[in-house]
Amino acid sequence: MIKMHNGYDVKNNNWWYGVYDKTGNKVFHEGRIKSCIKCHEIAKETDYLFSETIIDKISLDSDF
């Protein structure tokens, strides 16, 4: 994920997503990836970012 300029994707807090191979050199998908956005939506309270603590909290509060 890379935080983009304001206006890039206001609905999803302007995050750009990228899916690369294990070397980090070959890109498979990039941009506004719906599956990434859908997963990260459950972490809106923390600007779409996860940590172990956040995942534990989300797990307790929802059906994640």
Domain count, the chain: 1
CA distance 52 to 34: 23
pLDDT of residue 43: 87
pLDDT in tens, 3-57: 999 999 999 999 999 999 999 999 999 999 999 999 899 888 889 998 887 777 7
Structural domain harbouring 19: 2-61
CA distance 43 to 21: 25
pLDDT of residue 54: 72
Q: What is the dihedral of CA 54, 55, 56, 59, to 10 degrees?
A: 120
